[in-house]
Amino acid sequence: MQKAEIKGKWALVTGASRGIGRQVSLGLAEYGCNIVLHSRETVGTDTLAAELTAKGVQVLQVAAELSDEAQVDAMLASVLASTPGIDIVYNNAAIMTPYRSDWKSVPAEDFRKSFEVNVTALVRICHSLIPGMVKRKWGRIINVTSGIQDQPELIAYSISKAAVDKFVTDTASHLKGDGVLINLLDPGWLRTDLGGPNAPGSVESVLPGALVPALINDGTTGTLFRAQDYVGQTL
Ligand SMILES: NC(=O)c1ccc[n+]([C@@H]2O[C@H](COP(=O)([O-])OP(=O)(O)OC[C@H]3O[C@@H](n4cnc5c(N)ncnc54)[C@H](OP(=O)(O)O)[C@@H]3O)[C@@H](O)[C@H]2O)c1
C-alpha cells in the first residue's frame, strides 16, 4: 500500500477514552500524528493523553456531549482555535440503544437519541472541518459504521449507521478532486463496552486496519473499509 505521510498532521478522534477510539489514537500516534482526544469529560482521556505524549506527539483533550449541539459547536471552535487545522477525523463515538426483545415496540426516544449522537453530531463535525481540509487540499474523514444486520431489536442503532453510510457516499461525490477523502470504517464485532463480552474479536484487532482509510494515498473515497480484513498484516 502506498501510504500518505501523516507525521505531524492533526487528527481528531471522537470517543477516544476507551474501546476502538483509544486503539485508533494509539495507532495514529505510532505514525507521529498529533491527536485531539474527545470524550464526554476530559478526565476520561487523561491516561491516554499521557501515554501518547510519551510517544512524542502533541495531544489536546476536549469534552462534549454529542447530543448537545452547543457542546459540539464549542468543542469544534476550541479545536480549530488550538490547532493549525484538523487533517484527519475519526467520527468514532456512538451510542447503541437498548436491545428491544419486543422488536415491534421500539420507543421513539431510541431513534431521537441515536440520531443526535451517531448522525447529527457526526455530520456537524464533518461540515465544520471540511472547509479547512479543502483549503489545504488534504483531508481524511473516517466515519465509523457497523456491519450490523438482521437485528431489528437494535433498529434505532442500525438505522443511524445506515444514515452515516448514506451521508458518506453522497458527500464523497462533492469532494472529488479536492484531496479530501471521506470513507466508512467497519471495525468488526469487538469486545468493548458497546460490543459486549461475547464479541468474537479483541479490541486490539481493529489495528492496523482502522488506520488504512487515514493512510490511503490513491484517491479512494466513498468506500467501506473493514478493519478485520487487515488482521495480521503490516501496512
Ligand atoms: N464494538 C463493536 O463491536 C462495534 C461494532 C461495529 C461498530 N462499532 C462502532 O465503533 C465505534 C466505537 O465503538 P466502541 O465499541 O469503541 O464503543 P465504546 O467502547 O462504548 O466507546 C464509546 C466512546 O464514545 C464516547 N461516547 C459515548 N456516548 C457519547 C455521547 N453521548 N457523547 C459523546 N461521546 C460519547 C465514549 O466516551 P465517554 O468516555 O465519555 O463515555 C467512548 O469514548 C462506534 O461508532 C460503534 O458504533 C463498534
Calculate the CA 104 to chain-centre distance: 30
**What beta strand segments (E) does 87-146 contain?**
88-91, 139-144
Ligand 1 within 6 A of 111 CB? Answer: no
Cα–Cα dist 27/52, whole Å: 10
Cell of 66: 454529542
Q: Write out the three cell numbers for 71.
A: 457542546
Residues in the chain: 235
Q: 17: Cβ below 6 Å to ligand 1?
A: yes
The radius of gyration computed from the CA coordinates of the chain, to the nearest angstrom, equals 17
Q: Whose CA is nearest to atom 17 of ligand 1?
A: 194
Residue 65: CB within 6 Å of ligand 1?
Answer: yes
Domain membership of residue 2 (yes or no) is no
Please list, in sequence order, all residues whose beta carbon lies within 8 angstroms of the beta carbon of residue 49, skipping any fewer than 6 positions away. Answer: 37, 59, 61
Residue 4 falls inside a structural domain: no
Question: Separation of 100 CA from ligand 1 center, angstroms?
Answer: 19
Q: Which atom of ligand 1 is nearest to the CA of 190?
A: 3
What's the rounded Cα separation, in Å, for the pair 227 and 143? Answer: 13
Minimum-distance ligand 1 atom for the alpha carbon of 45? 39
| Count of domains forming the chain | 1
Residue 136 lies in a domain: yes
* Residue 132 exposed, middle or buried by CB count within 10 Å (0-12, 13-18, 19+): middle
Q: Which three cell numbers stand for residue 109?
A: 426516544
% of the chain with per-residue pLDDT over 70:
100
Distance CA 224, CA 20 (A): 17
State how far the Cα of 45 lies from the Cα of 40, in Å rounded to an integer. Answer: 9
pLDDT tens-digit series, residues 38-51 = 999 999 999 999 99
Amino acid at 77: A
143 in any annotated domain: yes
CB of 46 shorter than 6 A to ligand 1: no
pTM: 0.99
Tell me, yes or no, whether 42 lies in a domain.
yes
Span 137-164, pLDDT tens digits: 999 999 999 999 999 999 999 999 999 9
> Coil, helix or strand for 139?
strand
CATH number of the domain that 119 lies in?
Answer: 3.40.50.720
How many Å apart are CA 227 and CA 232, to the nearest integer? 11
Ligand 1 atom nearest residue 67's Cα = 31
For range 84-106, the mean pLDDT: 98
Structural domain containing residue 104: 10-230
Q: pLDDT category, 198, cuts 50, 70, 90?
A: very high
Whether 212 is in the pocket of ligand 1, judged by its Cβ within 6 Å, is no
Per-residue HEC secondary structure of 195-234 comes to CCCCCCECHHHHCCHHHHHHHECCCCCCCEEEHHHHCCCC
The residue-averaged pLDDT of 56-84 equals: 98
CA distance linking residue 221 with residue 50, whole number of Å: 33
In contact, 53 and 59? CB cutoff 8 Å: yes
| pLDDT tier for residue 4 given thresholds of 50, 70 and 90 | very high
**Which residue would you say has higher pLDDT here, 18 or 178?**
18
| pLDDT beyond 90 at 2 | no
Residues 208, 213, 219, 222, CA torsion sign: positive
- Whether 3 is in a domain gets the answer no
